[in-house]
Homo-oligomer: A and B are copies of this chain.
Amino acid sequence: MTETIRRIVLASRPAGSPTPNNFRLEEAAMPEVPDGQVLLETIYLSLDPYMRGRMSEAKSYADPIAIGDVMVGATVSRIKQSRSADWRQGDIVVAYSGWQTHAVSDGSDLRRIDPAVAPISTGLGVLGMTGFTAYAGLRNIGQPKPGETVVVAAASGAVGSVVGQIARIQGARAVGIAGGPEKCAFVKNELGFDAAIDHRAPDFARQLAEACPDGIDVYFENVGGAVWDAVLPLLNDFARVPVCGMISHYNDDGLEKPSTDRFPASMKVIQQKSITVRGFMNVEFIDQQPAFLEQAAAWIADGRLKCREDIVVGLENAPAAFLGLLEGRNFGKLVVRVSGER
């Protein structure tokens, strides 16, 4: 009996917001494992906003996914079969298998994780790339000082939740922005932010200003759009803006209706207040990852760093969950449970 694997491929490129038709679930033969390599079985698949960029044809920092290719993504996987001396069957690793049940790896992209430290799914979140992104952006660019005000949007999400908690651990005030009262309550009461503002409120900009009576020293930018407009007039002299992403614009397709050009006004404030806007990707600070993982594990152990995961069951549900992520419907780090933890 031939074993098969399941995988989700890019069926077509989205125009604006993706739809379920842009994805296709396929079956394929179980791959052969060459000598020196391993067969991985996906336990958890990470869904992250950057994947939207890879669905488009435009070249970005990475090549686009080809039509018919498996959707990319980080996974927590179990080594199902090892033909490598470096890995043993049963090892749990962070891999980059993509949206599929199995994959073959030569081991170069694997990071072993210890299930005793925290639930293994956190290897995709607070103890993975999203947690590290928050840490690296704050440490290298935001550099909050005690008493300063740090603002982050998507504050109940994978990156934002860690930004605010680390800011507080470092003695800064953390103000989170989230969508809806339930997420705001979580950000304030569970994550311990100093304030949480609902960006859907009609007087959002006024509420944000009230929550930041001393202005904003660090704005960790991961959404863009209306949040930027509300943040801009509150930025203090010498404010720092680590630019991690702009999820509110990921579905822009260049065919938008004419609007106001927000660039000149933004640059005017940047100039007059000596503000630093610095884009980054976590890979440029990757040598800091071991220190982060050690530190974050200790913070989790003593209760200072909390996380919330939004776990969707079944690979076939990944496309719908991903579309929801782009619209803010997830609540916490979004992961897909692909197989049981046997």
Interface residues of chain A, those whose CB is within 8 Å of chain B, are 60-61, 221, 224, 228, 243-246, 249, 252, 256-264, 266-281, 284
Q: Give bound CA distance, A275 to B262, whole Å.
A: 19
By beta carbon, the residue of chain B nearest A225 is B264
Query: Which residues of the partner chain B approach A256 to less than 8 Å between Cβ atoms?
Result: 260-261
Do residues B259 and A243 form an inter-chain contact, with CB atoms below 8 A?
no
Say how many copies of this protein the assembly contains.
2
Partner of A259, one of B224, B245, B260, B268: B260
| Interface contact B268-A249, CB-CB below 8 Å | yes
Q: Are B276 and A281 in contact (CB under 8 A)?
A: no
**Which B residues are CB-close (under 8 A) to A259?**
258-261
- Say yes or no: A279 contacts B274, CB within 8 Å: yes
Q: Is the CB of B261 within 8 A of A61?
A: no
Chain B residue at smallest Cβ distance from A262 = B263
Whether B277 contacts A281 by the Cβ 8 Å rule is no
Is A264 a contact of B279 with CB atoms below 8 Å?
no
Q: How far is the CA of A7 from the CA of B279 in the complex (A)?
A: 47
Distance between A55 CB and nearest chain B CB, rounded to angstroms: 15
Residues of B within 8 A of A269 (CB): 279
B267 adjacent to A274 (CB under 8 Å): no
15 contacts across the A-B interface (CB closer than 8 A): A243-B267, A244-B271, A245-B271, A246-B267, A249-B264, A256-B261, A259-B261, A271-B280, A274-B278, A274-B279, A274-B280, A275-B278, A276-B277, A277-B277, A277-B278
Report how far A261 CA is from B270 CA in the complex, Å. Answer: 17
Of A243, A258, A275, A281, most buried by chain B (CB within 10 Å of CB) is: A243
Chain B residues with CB below 8 A from A266, complex form = 263
Could you say which residues of chain B place their CB within 8 Å of the CB of A263?
Answer: 224, 228, 261-263, 266
From known contacts A263-B266, A264-B224, A276-B278, infer whether A271 and B258 are also in contact, taking CB-CB under 8 Å: no
Instruction: A171 to B257: give the CA distance in the assembly, Å.
Output: 45
Task: Give A272 to B54 CA distance when docked, in angstroms.
Answer: 13
- Given A277-B278, A279-B272, verify A224-B267 contact (CB < 8 Å): yes
